[in-house]
Structure 1
Amino acid sequence: MSDRLRTSRRTLLAATAGSAAAVAVGSASARAAEDGTVDRTALRALIDRMSLEEKVGQLFVMRVYGHSATEPDQADVDKNLEEAGVRNAAELIAKYRVGGIIYFGWAHNTRDPHQIADLSNGIQRAARQLPSRTPALIATDQEHGIVARVGLPATLVPGAMALGAGGSRADTRRAALIAGRELAAMGIRQNYAPVADVNVNPANPVIGVRSFGSDPQAVARLVAAQVEGYQEGGVAATSKHFPGHGDTKDDSHYSLPTIHHTREQWNTLDAPPFEAAIAAGIDSIMTAHIVVPALDPAEDPATLSAPILTGILREQLGYDGVVVTDSLGMQGVRTKYGDDRVPVLALKAGVDQLLNPPKPEVAWNAVLQAVRDGELSEERLDASILRILELKARRGLFRNPYVTHDGVDRNVGTRTHRATAELIADRTTTLLVNEGGLLPLSPREQRDVLVVGADPASPSGTTGPPTAVLAGALTELGFTATRLSTGTAPSAAKIDEAVAAAEGKDAVVVGTYNVTASSAQRTLVQRLIATGVPVVAVAVRNPYDVAQLPEVRGYLAAYSWTDTELRAAARVIAGRTSPAGRLPVPVQRADDPGTVLYPVGHGLSY
């Protein structure tokens, strides 16, 4: 432990010891860690000591810019002043008494594991300055796969659909356990994962590979496994997005989607993964900014719907844990109501945590005023705060909210974790097409390989663009691999360049990303095939790409473009491992969507 961390910890532990209520809650937290129970009497006593302002603050999970709780870069100070009227995380906590903070890569919260640990400790020190000295609950979206806020050198395990292709409950649980231990070591104690949506719509623009698949029972089994893994690892799991975002063609970040499932369809398709999460003891469930008329005829977003959150989630499914909104900055929840009404309506619907309001001061004051005006009772706030404090106690935050650099080094990105992630990934890569036994390629017979294709923005901390990672992995496996990034919408000039670069090569490996009927990626692949050089395609996101490229003789689904999954795909291409993944979603024909081209369970092996 560094001298600064050791001194700060001694100071704060001494301050905590001066509060009998805090000591009582710390004891309750210790019991929670040992036997799963929580002393509600001690927690209620803590709530009784809170001012109304503190109670309102406990309901919010806000973002803040910067790598440090007290000394962020000037650009981050400027953003914080612009958005929240504060300079840093410590001031945010002091002003709004917030109960939680969410980390984002784009907010410069997650540079590296030691920095994250220091930021977490700084936030906890600031939280201990509040009158109640209640620790903060620090959260992030670490789904893995295409959504990873904390990147290398932390371990990047395969994402949900890749794990769905692997089909192993043990692997899925193990991946979450690794992730949970690493997040907890950095001071992050709530993870907004796993995704419990059943992706039955190939055109879904926001879920896709973030889902485990299209079979509700298979998804339920793997959701439960991840809940167990994350929470054993020390973080609160969060299944999302209730009541189910898997059958939308619109993105709730930008619009308000409607799901037209009947109540019977919802019971069969959407409910099972959430029921499984609840049965597994999940700590929190996230709402969706979607309309489901069969569940609420008023057609309010589920986040603001009492019939959905209280009537179905609380009463029908019997869930009494924390309910957290999806980001309140998303357009889906802002379509019908203003930013001052959304947080109040969410609380009235049954929400406990209000995540990432776009205008923190407006949202915080709106809730405060709603209590003062009698629209919300203080007892209503107390019920949510008790759930939040119980979660914090279960995660040991009252006992000791701080982390150390030594703990980071012992847990984050260890050789054992990375090796386990690689082994899991080897069991997920799916071979969809292998005409004429094109694969595996041989570094002796097909040594000179060109790697081209899409380079989507990489999750935080990956070693480079996907084409570079794939080319590097193939080179390590004995090939001479050169790389040309052609992008997700290659121009005619870029396609010509790729075709010229393919001349004289033994094979071309092309990464595809969300290929559509009008995509220039189709033209690129067709032109490459016309050269006569063998072409192997790797879908680096949705496996549905294969339907748009029927001419390709060798096609793999990697389900993501992280190092872990691309390196696993390279091992399959080189024949170092046999492909073991099986499609967790069906792929329909592009020219006849009513006909299944590759069914659930399809996958070839060597």
Structure 2
Amino acid sequence: MHHAGTGNTPTPSRRTVLAATAGLTAALALTANAAHAAPPADERLRALIAGMTLEEKVGQLFVMRVYGHSATDPDQADIDANLKEIGVRTAAELITKYRVGGIIYFTWAHNTRDPHQIADLSNGIQKASLGRPRGLPVLIATDQEHGIIARVGKPATLFPGAMAIGATGSRSDARTLGRIAGAELSALGIRQDYSPDADVNVNPANPVIGVRSFGADPDAVAGLVAAQVQGYQASGVAATAKHFPGHGDTAVDSHFGFPVITHSRELWEKLDAVPFRAAIRAGIEAIMTAHIMVPALDGSGDPATLSHPILTGILREELGYDGVVVTDSLGMEGVRQKYGDDRVPVLALKAGVDQLLNPPSLDVAWNAVLKAVHDGELTEARLDESLLRVLRLKSKLGLLDRPYVTADGVDRTVGAPEHLRTADRIADRTTTLLVNKRDLLPLSRVTHPKVLVLGADPASPTGTDGPPTTVLANALTELGFTATALSTGTAPSSATIDKAVTAAGNADAVVVGTHNVSATSSQRTLVNQLIATGRPVIAIAVRNPYDVAQLPDAEAYLASYSWTDVELRAAARVIAGRVKPRGKLPVPVQRADDPAQVLYPIGYGLSY
């Protein structure tokens, strides 16, 4: 990978690193006695905490978004956004004003343009923080789940998502994914990943989890969660299991509403708790809370994020977890419906949270916590407990000694050829064949040379090679077909359907990507009218595999579990017969006309 034309600041020299960390080293040295052995790590960290002001302690507990590709010189539009939402111009000013202990990267905040820019941004953030008196390194985080949720795109390696890995059933693949993905994040200065998703997706109507979950079997999910945790953390990245106490059985998206989970305590123990227990046994460094109500665990009506019975009573005391607890974004509606934005961070800390993620107004949240200490509602000792956990994590990750990354590390690690080959090999084990009437697949290049690729084309994840229909058509063309792409959208109009049917008349076979098909979806009309042309129709569920129940007449049906490049290329190889389908359903698919009946059970999957 070349480092050309980015216009970013160079990686700090060793002299700069030593100068920036001088204050930190001096603080650590306060606890050392020449006549005695070095004290335990916690004592050194407690000495750091003892030297901090209350304002610095409060800031260390926040993880905040910030716009811009650079810590000190973002684009004017990003400066404007920062001023409007945060009251600062840059990431460096954010750190100076609020002393934040963490920053979260988002694509839409323009933090993740390319690998060298990301690394330079990370170094700029560390330099801004360590250059302050008593400065501490910043824990930089992001949501890099892979599949449909990825903030860092190409040329970084992108893997199949969780449900696709669930279709392999391979803990080795889950561990390998974590190890490689963790190494690439670490090279970029991102040392905390809000992944893996430990939710058990037992509700096909779940609008927010779905394919982000490894599946519906709690023991299978637990094994894959634990393996991925081991992989990430072996590469020096803190994994974060989410969303405790379990978001897998809801029909409400907590970004926009307040879900209620009606599981009994007994069912929670058997279902939702199992992957989190496995993550804790695997040494998980962080657990993220869910903005959901679980009356069987706390009858107060509070979201789990603000629940002392759930976070302290169950997670800390019953499950024995003493690592970092981070909230889901405090800007989500699920945590804002019952209390104001000034109460939420205070109540979260009282419940047992350590890190407060992305409040809608940092000024309101930061001052609310400060006021709660001054008023006696929160004690400084309570802040110190969370601060110690956060500093333990920073210390374990090596941030206290090695906060910076290098351009050489980026070039050597991010998107390495072997990493990309491994992602393709794993993807080849994920594609699941659910229907194959008259042995249509593998598709013959001799009898079906011309292929029309249609599809929903949902918004492409970060760093793809184009719309999913284009990616799939290009992949099939590279495999010897003559394939053309036509986007039909997630809700095709009558005119769009007519155009697609006309185009199908000139093709030997049709491949159509479906995305969350419902009983009333016009995608059903599209597929059925394509089938009526007499052309062979191969459908691919590019998100939830439940689509197949709505489209029983397709001659072949595949599940790719995502519309990312790596999974669509794997599906193309299955269609062309270059690899055999090996994936098995990690969730059951119920009948569309009778959801009490299972159409395809967990473990179902054809081959040829």
Q: Give the TM-score band, short-chain normalised.
A: over 0.9
Cα drift, residue 38 of structure 1: 6.8
Aligned counterparts, 1:306-385, within 5 A: 306-385=308-387
Superposed CA deviations along residues 318-351 of structure 1, whole A, max 9, x for unmatched, are: 0000000000000000000000000000000000
Q: Which residue of 2 aligns with 1:34?
A: none
Contact kept in structure 1, 2:27 and 2:47, CA below 8 Å = no
- Say yes or no: does 1:521 pair with 2:504: no
How many Å separate the matches in 2 of 1:527 and 1:343?
53
Q: Which residue of 2 aligns with 1:146?
A: 148
Q: Which residue of 2 aligns with 1:395?
A: 397
Cα drift, residue 5 of structure 1: 3.1
Aligned counterparts, 1:105-504, within 5 A: 105-504=107-506
Q: Which residue of 2 aligns with 1:12?
A: 17
The aligned amino acid for 1:252 is: S
Cα drift, residue 14 of structure 1: 2.3
How many Å separate the matches in 2 of 1:6 and 1:595?
59
**Against the structure 1 CA distance between its residues 522 and 439, is the aligned structure 2 distance closer, same or farther, given a 3 Å change threshold?**
same
Q: Which residue of 2 aligns with 1:535?
A: 537
Contact kept in structure 1, 2:31 and 2:47, CA below 8 Å = no
Superposed CA deviations along residues 89-134 of structure 1, whole A, max 9, x for unmatched, are: 0000101100000000011000011000000000001111232221
Superposed CA deviations along residues 248-289 of structure 1, whole A, max 9, x for unmatched, are: 010000010000000000000000100000000000000000
Superposed CA deviations along residues 404-441 of structure 1, whole A, max 9, x for unmatched, are: 11100111001000000000000010000001101110
**Against the structure 1 CA distance between its residues 452 and 282, is the aligned structure 2 distance closer, same or farther, given a 3 Å change threshold?**
same
How many Å separate the matches in 2 of 1:101 and 1:386?
18
How many Å separate the matches in 1 of 2:430 and 2:197?
18
**Against the structure 1 CA distance between its residues 526 and 26, is the aligned structure 2 distance closer, same or farther, given a 3 Å change threshold?**
farther
Cα drift, residue 547 of structure 1: 0.4
Name which of 574, 578, 589 aligns with 1:576: 578
Aligned counterparts, 1:21-36, within 5 A: 21-22=26-27, 24=29
**Against the structure 1 CA distance between its residues 509 and 233, is the aligned structure 2 distance closer, same or farther, given a 3 Å change threshold?**
same
Cα drift, residue 517 of structure 1: 0.4
Cα drift, residue 10 of structure 1: 2.1
Cα drift, residue 11 of structure 1: 1.9
Superposed CA deviations along residues 449-478 of structure 1, whole A, max 9, x for unmatched, are: 000011111111111110010001000000
How many Å separate the matches in 2 of 1:539 and 1:155?
23
Contact kept in structure 2, 1:328 and 1:334, CA below 8 Å = yes
How many Å separate the matches in 2 of 1:168 and 1:531?
40
Report the more deviating stretch, 13-22 or 48-57. Answer: 13-22
How many Å separate the matches in 2 of 1:261 and 1:103?
34
Superposed CA deviations along residues 132-157 of structure 1, whole A, max 9, x for unmatched, are: 22100000000000000001100001
How many Å separate the matches in 1 of 2:133 and 2:254?
38
The aligned amino acid for 2:554 is: V
Cα drift, residue 13 of structure 1: 1.4
- Say yes or no: does 1:547 pair with 2:549: yes
SS of 2:21 mapped into structure 1: helix
Report the more deviating stretch, 436-445 or 177-186. Answer: 436-445
Q: Which residue of 2 aligns with 1:40?
A: 42
The aligned amino acid for 1:17 is: A
Cα drift, residue 583 of structure 1: 0.1
How many Å separate the matches in 2 of 1:130 and 1:260?
48
Contact kept in structure 1, 2:165 and 2:173, CA below 8 Å = yes
Q: Which residue of 1 aligns with 2:101?
A: 99
- Say yes or no: does 1:86 pair with 2:88: yes
Contact kept in structure 2, 1:21 and 1:46, CA below 8 Å = no
Contact kept in structure 2, 1:159 and 1:559, CA below 8 Å = yes
Superposed CA deviations along residues 363-403 of structure 1, whole A, max 9, x for unmatched, are: 00000110111100000000000000000011110111100
How many Å separate the matches in 2 of 1:517 and 1:600?
23
Q: Which residue of 1 aligns with 2:35?
A: none
The aligned amino acid for 1:539 is: A
Superposed CA deviations along residues 8-48 of structure 1, whole A, max 9, x for unmatched, are: 55223124235544555999xxxxxxxxx971011000001
Cα drift, residue 7 of structure 1: 4.5
Task: Report the count of equivalent residues.
Answer: 597
Cα drift, residue 4 of structure 1: 5.1
Q: Which residue of 2 aligns with 1:32?
A: none
How many Å separate the matches in 2 of 1:428 and 1:413?
21
How many Å separate the matches in 2 of 1:130 and 1:58?
14
**Against the structure 1 CA distance between its residues 479 and 375, is the aligned structure 2 distance closer, same or farther, given a 3 Å change threshold?**
same
The aligned amino acid for 2:386 is: S
The aligned amino acid for 1:416 is: E
How many Å separate the matches in 2 of 1:237 and 1:372?
34
SS of 1:237 mapped into structure 2: strand
How many Å separate the matches in 1 of 2:560 and 2:24?
53
**Against the structure 1 CA distance between its residues 437 and 15, is the aligned structure 2 distance closer, same or farther, given a 3 Å change threshold?**
closer
**Against the structure 1 CA distance between its residues 65 and 26, is the aligned structure 2 distance closer, same or farther, given a 3 Å change threshold?**
farther
The aligned amino acid for 2:429 is: R
The aligned amino acid for 1:113 is: P
SS of 1:5 mapped into structure 2: coil
Contact kept in structure 1, 2:31 and 2:44, CA below 8 Å = no
How many Å separate the matches in 2 of 1:50 and 1:222?
40
Contact kept in structure 1, 2:504 and 2:530, CA below 8 Å = yes
How many Å separate the matches in 2 of 1:491 and 1:401?
53
Q: Which runs of 5+ in 2 are unaligned?
A: 33-38
Q: Which residue of 1 aligns with 2:36?
A: none
**Against the structure 1 CA distance between its residues 124 and 591, is the aligned structure 2 distance closer, same or farther, given a 3 Å change threshold?**
same
Contact kept in structure 1, 2:11 and 2:405, CA below 8 Å = no
Superposed CA deviations along residues 289-331 of structure 1, whole A, max 9, x for unmatched, are: 0000000010200000000000000000000000000000000
**Against the structure 1 CA distance between its residues 40 and 399, is the aligned structure 2 distance closer, same or farther, given a 3 Å change threshold?**
same
TM-score, normalised to structure 1's length?
0.97
Percent of residue pairs bearing the same amino acid type: 73
Report the more deviating stretch, 572-581 or 3-12. Answer: 3-12
Superposed CA deviations along residues 161-185 of structure 1, whole A, max 9, x for unmatched, are: 0000000000110011110000000
TM-score, normalised to structure 2's length?
0.97
Contact kept in structure 1, 2:290 and 2:303, CA below 8 Å = yes
The aligned amino acid for 1:366 is: A
How many Å separate the matches in 1 of 2:539 and 2:427?
18
**Against the structure 1 CA distance between its residues 370 and 432, is the aligned structure 2 distance closer, same or farther, given a 3 Å change threshold?**
same
Contact kept in structure 1, 2:9 and 2:120, CA below 8 Å = no
SS of 1:508 mapped into structure 2: strand
